[in-house]
Amino acid sequence: MHIERLLRLLAGTFILGSLALGHWVSPYWYLFTAFVGLNLLQSGFTNWCPMMWFLKLLGVPCAADAARPKSASLAAK
């Protein structure tokens, strides 16, 4: 799985999970929903996302890296 797809899955899971927790546990969980939404908004403007940075540290590959031929990636090194 590539980082872009995993990021969308995580964002959707965080939003739906925090909405459910806000409904059944405490309305303060809606603040987490707002936090995720604000991160998505700033990511659209700045093209930087903290979760993508974290996933790259964990070694999740980018879709652009997978689309590049192996010989081109070896030549770049």
- Tally of domains in the chain: 1
SS (H, E, C) 8-58: HHHHHHHHHHHHHHHHHCCHHHHHHHHHHHHHHHHHHHHCCCHHHHHHHHC
How much is the pLDDT for 77?
54
With beta carbons less than 8 A apart as the criterion, state whether 19 and 30 touch: yes
Give CA–CA dist 64/73, Å, rounded. Answer: 11
Tens digits of pLDDT across the chain (77 residues): 899 999 999 999 999 999 999 999 999 999 999 999 999 999 999 999 999 999 999 999 998 876 666 665 555 55
* Residue range(s) defining the domain that contains residue 20: 3-76
